[in-house]
Amino acid sequence: MSVREVDVTIVGAGTSGTYLAWRLAEAGYRCLVLEKDELENLGTRIGPFHMEEEAFERFGIPLPEGEELLHRLETITMWSPDHRNRATARFATLDMDKPAFMRRLHSYARKAGAEILEKVEFRRVIREKGFPAGVEASGSEGDIEVTCRLVVDASGIDGAVRTSLPDSPWIENDPIADLDTLIVYMESWGDLQGEVGADINSFLHFQGWYAPSYGDELIVGVGMPASPEGARKRQQAFAATLPFTGRAVSSTGGRVPYRRPPLSLLDSGLMVVGDAAFLNKPFNGEGVTSAFTACAIAAEVAADALARDDLTREALWPYNARYFRDQGAKFAFLAAAMPAVVSLSQEEIDFLFTVPGIFSEEGTRALNLEYELKSDPATALRSLPALLAGIATGKLRPGSVAAIVKMGMTAATLRKLYEAYPEHPVAFGAWAEKVKPLWEKADAARHGYFRRLLREYE
Ligand SMILES: Cc1cc2nc3c(=O)[nH]c(=O)nc-3n(C[C@H](O)[C@H](O)[C@H](O)COP(=O)(O)OP(=O)(O)OC[C@H]3O[C@@H](n4cnc5c(N)ncnc54)[C@H](O)[C@@H]3O)c2cc1C
């Protein structure tokens, strides 16, 4: 057994763990990242992925170049299922090679002084007097015992550290349920024939999209709850609606979390970031930049706590408060509201695309860049007669409108509660009791929709 001593142990060298290690190493702390896989393999199961261009500056990451940058995409278009109507927003998204991006992030973290050990798997947190004091891990060269002041779970969707912890109100330790995951299935198509829209094209009804991939190929992908087989069938159903054909050259996929984050992301000596904390964008499951937002806060808070040598829950609490009051509150709203919107029928979504102001360029931009469902009162008022006419003529079911209003109210209440996330752990218990019943309602609505999809595609 080899023994090591560092300030911070980070479990997982994905985008979240590596970015956090980079930031903390830059701040002068000894960081050790443990990765169970080979570093060369990271990102290969995903291949091409997207990041908003403006995020690079925000997170202090140089822009990609050369083979890492596949395409610079200038627009995102949301389409009605019948392809008759669309809303196009102009902002740049970079289509990149994930393995190359991972290699670059690893090199930044190492240059800043972080150490990354590959093929080393986290086993358990070592505790002293109830406080985390390090981790035990095992690798190809034997077992390792690391002593540290802070342990970070950045191990992805299965939350290896989080789920190994004893029951506590501060870090939920339940493993993610199948019904809280979205299977992303993507095919890369060549030999394209027909009319292909420019850049990124998004289809709410199938949680589907197509966009350029490597070379001249095109990714045609969908999200589907829980079932890999269902995801393939949903992708075929989506592909059949497209105004072009192509030959599937390869396919890839994986799981993303699709549920609320744990109500607290930390406890004394512990933090959770990235997919391990379900910090993905609720409208499309992307989780790289949304996790960087949390990692940037976590790095500042941890650096401050390490400088004072105070790693108590109270000292780390600003990570919870700062994350949840801002991005966390917006995501809580979207996570609760989205199922009522995406579960509308194809015909209802087609109809809504014809109502001015519902799907707009500004709305598409605001959703993707600010995580807001924007609708100014004047536009909403103008669209009211058209919406009422839709109900009267059967294009919009009253039940759908009622579900949107009901979940919209739950979502708005959740957002307000998260915007007032407790400043101090002492108020956390009472706050958690207020949000839990609201999440139960939101989860029941989402699970109902997911079960319907599973019946449809299995
Ligand atoms: C098909 C697909 C396409 C996607 N496309 C996009 C996209 O275009 N844009 C976007 O923003 N997001 C996208 N996502 C989501 C994005 O990939 C994730 O949100 C992001 O990778 C999460 O990063 P992470 O570091 O938190 O977790 P991960 O990337 O999962 O990294 C966790 C790491 O921890 C390691 N680990 C796990 N257990 C242990 C252990 N016990 N010991 C040591 N190491 C361990 C794992 O091997 C892994 O390397 C996509 C996801 C999928 C599945």
Residue 288 Cα distances to 40, 42, 294, 314, angstroms? 19, 14, 10, 27
**Pocket of ligand 1 contains residue 244 by CB under 6 Å:** no
Return d(Cα 194, Cα 330) in angstroms, integer. Answer: 38
> In 387-400, which positions are buried (b, 16+ CB within 10 angstroms) versus exposed (e)?
beebeeeebbeeeb
| Cβ 161 under 6 angstroms from ligand 1 | no
Distance 406 CA to ligand 1 centre (A): 33
Please report the atom of ligand 1 found closest to the CA of residue 281.
Answer: 11
The burial class, CB within 10 Å (0-12 / 13-18 / 19+), for 430 is exposed
Distance 192 CA to ligand 1 centre (A): 30
- What's the 48 CA to ligand 1 centre distance in angstroms? 13
For ligand 1, whether the C-beta of 280 sits within 6 Å is yes
Give 257 Cα–ligand 1 centroid separation in angstroms: 10
What is the pLDDT at residue 379?
A: 72
Strand-pairing partners, residue 31, are 8
Q: What is the CA radius of gyration of the chain?
A: 22
Q: Can you give the pLDDT at residue 382?
A: 80
Ligand 1: centre distance to CA 411 (Å): 27
Q: What residue ranges in 53-85 does DSSP mark as E strands? A: 69-79
Predicted pLDDT at 33: 98
List the chain pLDDT tens, one digit each, 458 residues.
Answer: 899 999 999 999 999 999 999 999 999 999 999 999 999 999 999 999 999 999 999 999 999 999 999 999 999 999 999 999 999 999 999 999 999 999 999 999 999 999 999 999 999 999 998 899 999 999 988 999 999 999 999 999 999 999 999 999 999 999 999 999 999 999 999 999 999 999 999 999 999 999 999 999 999 999 999 999 999 999 999 999 999 999 999 999 999 999 999 999 999 999 999 999 999 999 899 999 999 999 999 999 999 999 999 999 999 999 999 999 999 999 999 999 988 888 899 999 999 999 988 888 888 999 999 998 876 667 777 888 888 999 999 999 999 988 888 999 999 999 999 999 999 999 999 999 999 999 999 999 999 999 999 999 97
Residue ranges of alpha helices (H) inside 161-312 are: 228-240, 288-307
- What is the Å distance from ligand 1's center to 346 Cα? 31
Determine if ligand 1 sits within 6 Å of the CB of residue 274. Answer: yes
Strands 2-5 and 142-147: parallel
Q: How far apart are CA 234 and CA 92, in angstroms?
A: 28
What's the Cα-to-Cα distance from 433 to each of 84, 143, 417, 427, 430, rounded to whole Å? 46, 41, 11, 11, 5
45 CA closest ligand 1 atom index: 1
Q: What is residue 279's predicted lDDT score, i.e. its pLDDT?
A: 98
Nearest residue by C-alpha to atom 16 in ligand 1: 287
